[in-house]
């Protein structure tokens, strides 16, 4: 086949890595200062514990560790680009990714952040796939990372019991569309009319940081959980159906459903509406909580729930602030998880 007619390269998963900070906060720990209990949190969210980064550990630190493990899983070597999906960058400016790339020893490479909240990792995978398809990069590190506890009001039960810190990463390499690990079609969407349902309202250009905003707790994450639940399930289900159709798959073809670990009720609701058996749904929210953009890669790297085996046909889907949602598919390759 001539160069003029050769298909664009596909983005293929070559390595995977994950990292969570060692400190664990249980529901009982939270009950010591919040009006809550282990039973209350478990029954409503499915969460038992979450990991929390130490005060001197930032999103850059979490990202670097996960990315380094992913590169080791991929056999080492360099990359041409680093993408970091995060809701909690170290600073508004500059982006997180260039510092992560520098710490990894990658110089003069493309590096940028992707901000799509809990859907961020799916968006970043799509962006990394685009870089490879366009011939801009042959190897891309895609990270989802959050130090989200820095943005939680410790007195707000609606958010403090839900979220956890952590990071996960994949290394994508140029390859063939029919080989294991090749990312399939993507479905991405948004609904900005509901942007206020999940938001950190102060600290940006609309409401620059001020004492009055801090006193009103506007620099903390705020979420309308009931409305988020109402939107999340139908958006994720529709996105999954579209991407399955684009891939030529049916629901019966799916061996593993890996959804954003937002809430166990949402995960079960998506699986039920799609017709995916519970035994095929990867759920690890009980140990990590909702880690936002880190959620999907942490679930991919976690062998404990139902596990991903080489040859498994995997459906990925997520929903988050923006509102945003997205899905993609792949056949799971043989990987060394680190």
> Which residue numbers are catalytic?
118, 260, 290
Q: For 172-194, what is the HEC assignment?
A: EEEECCCCCCECCCEEEEECHHH
The number of angstroms, rounded, from the C-alpha of 3 to the middle of its chain's C-alpha atoms is: 36
62-292-231 Cα angle (round to 5)? 170
For residues 152 and 88, is the Cβ–Cβ distance under 8 A? no
Q: How many Cα atoms sit within 13 Å of 290 on the Cβ side? A: 31
The number of angstroms, rounded, from the C-alpha of 165 to the middle of its chain's C-alpha atoms is: 11
d(CA 255, CA 180): 14
Two tokens at 77?
């070597």
The number of angstroms, rounded, from the C-alpha of 13 to the middle of its chain's C-alpha atoms is: 15
Q: Give counts: helices (H), strands (E), the chain.
A: 11, 14
Query: What is the number of residues in the chain?
Result: 338
Output b/e per residue, 172-185; b: 16+ Cβ within 10 A: bbbbeeeebbbbbb
d(CA 169, CA 18): 6
For residues 331 and 312, is the Cβ–Cβ distance under 8 A? yes
For residues 82 and 23, is the Cβ–Cβ distance under 8 A? no
Q: How far is CA 268 from CA 42, 249, 257, 290, 325, in A?
A: 14, 21, 11, 15, 17
Two tokens at 148?
């989200």
For residues 315 and 250, is the Cβ–Cβ distance under 8 A? no
């Amino acid at each position: 086949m001539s160069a003029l007619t050769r298909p664009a390269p596909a983005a293929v998963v070559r390595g995977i890595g994950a990292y969570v900070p060692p400190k664990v906060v249980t529901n009982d720990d939270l009950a010591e200062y919040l009006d809550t209990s282990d039973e209350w949190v478990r029954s409503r969210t499915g969460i038992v514990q979450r990991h929390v980064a130490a005060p001197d550990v930032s999103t850059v630190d979490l990202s670097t560790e996960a990315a380094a493990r992913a590169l080791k899983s991929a056999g080492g070597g360099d990359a041409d680009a680093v993408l970091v999906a995060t809701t909690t960058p170290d600073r508004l400016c500059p982006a997180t990714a260039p510092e992560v790339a520098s710490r990894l020893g990658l110089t003069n490479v493309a590096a940028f952040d992707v901000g799509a909240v809990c859907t961020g990792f799916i968006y970043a995978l799509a962006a990394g796939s685009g870089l490879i398809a366009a011939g801009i990069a042959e190897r891309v590190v895609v990270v989802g990372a959050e130090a989200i506890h820095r943005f939680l009001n410790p007195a707000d039960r609606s958010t403090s019991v839900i979220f956890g810190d952590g990071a996960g990463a994949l290394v994508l390499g140029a390859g063939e569309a029919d080989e294991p690990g090749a990312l399939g079609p993507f479905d991405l969407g948004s609904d900005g009319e509901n942007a206020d349902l999940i938001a950190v309202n102060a600290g940006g250009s609309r409401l620059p940081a001020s004492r009055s905003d801090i006193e009103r707790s506007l620099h903390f994450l705020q979420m309308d959980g009931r409305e988020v639940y109402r939107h999340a399930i139908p958006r994720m289900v529709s996105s999954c159906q579209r991407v399955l159709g684009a891939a030529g798959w049916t629901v019966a073809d799916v061996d593993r459903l890996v959804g954003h670990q937002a809430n166990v009720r949402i995960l079960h609701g998506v699986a039920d509406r799609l017709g995916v058996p519970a035994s095929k749904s990867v759920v690890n929210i009980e140990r990590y909580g909702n880690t936002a953009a880190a959620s999907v890669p942490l679930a991919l790297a976690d062998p404990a729930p139902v596990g991903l085996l080489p040859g498994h046909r995997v459906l990925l889907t997520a929903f988050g602030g923006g509102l945003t949602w997205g899905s993609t598919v792949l056949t799971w390759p043989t990987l060394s998880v680190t």
